[in-house]
Amino acid sequence: MSKTIETTVFSFDDFERRGGLFTDMLRARKKAFIEKNGWDLPENFSMEFDQYDTPMSHYVVIRRDGVVVSGVRLTPTTAKVMLYSYMIRDAQKGLLPTLPETLMDILAPVDPLVWEASRTFISDDVPADERHNLRKTYVRGLLDGAHRVGATHLITLMSISWPLYARRYNLSMKPLGQPIDVGTPHQVVMIDIMASEAIAAAKAA
């Protein structure tokens, strides 16, 4: 039986209509990051959230037959809430004890055209034979989300398997630091939105 896949990009401006989707996403994040990965993260009411879930962030959420199965948070690198800005920059500034200050070889950008992608997940509840197509849907949603917020580049901390994903899903990426251990090896990379879309268009031609 075919499954209905729906991608939604939203912000706090949409909260009156999307509040239920937001809380469903936070519950899915708890399952992915706390229950599965065992990360020590803030949680309450069966939801995972932190200091970067603010009105400045936007979200891309994918549902499979109405159930949240994937998502990502997009935060501007110009964000500032009290002591905090965005995760990668705050780690570099020594504000996050769970991440090393040396995670990047350059100063973390503060640029309205560069946004951070964080809290990326794909649910284990998705069967293995559907995960490739779901990842393609996720990448399309990520690019759509970048367009919505006016980003030309996304900075993110992801698995060191990123070169494989870059080739498989037509993403133009480059590393910005050395691999670090966050339970599994990860690395900060920059995604070029326009170059990624050009790669996909060329392959489709």
The CATH code of the domain that includes 63 is: 3.40.630.30
Phi, psi of 65 (to 5 degrees): 50, 45
Confidence class of residue 30 from pLDDT cuts 50, 70 and 90? Answer: confident
Task: Assess contact for 74 and 112: CB atoms under 8 A.
Answer: no
> Chain-wide mean pLDDT for the chain?
90
| Residue-wise pLDDT tens digits, 112-154 | 999 999 999 888 888 888 888 999 999 999 999 999 999 999 9
Residues forming beta bridges with residue 6, ordered by sequence position? 63
Output the pLDDT for position 125.
Answer: 84
Distances from the Cα of 113 to the Cαs of 72, 109, 116, 187, 191, in angstroms?
A: 18, 10, 10, 21, 12
Specify the residue for token string 């499979």.
64
- CA atoms of 126 and 7, how far apart (whole Å): 15
Q: What is the pTM of this model?
A: 0.92
How many distinct structural domains can be found in the chain? 1
Say which range, 13-27, 70-84, 109-123, 133-147, has the weakest mean pLDDT: 13-27
Its domain, for residue 97, covers 5-204
Output the pLDDT for position 159.
Answer: 92
- CA atoms of 181 and 188, how far apart (whole Å): 12
Task: Assess contact for 59 and 22: CB atoms under 8 A.
Answer: yes
Phi, psi of 59 (to 5 degrees): -135, 145
For 131, the 3-state DSSP assignment is: helix
Task: Assess contact for 132 and 44: CB atoms under 8 A.
Answer: no
Please state the rounded mean pLDDT for residues 165-187.
92
DSSP 23-78: HHHHHHHIIIIIIIS-----EETTEE--TT-STT-EEEEEEETTEEEEEEEEEETT
Specify the residue for token string 């936070």.
26
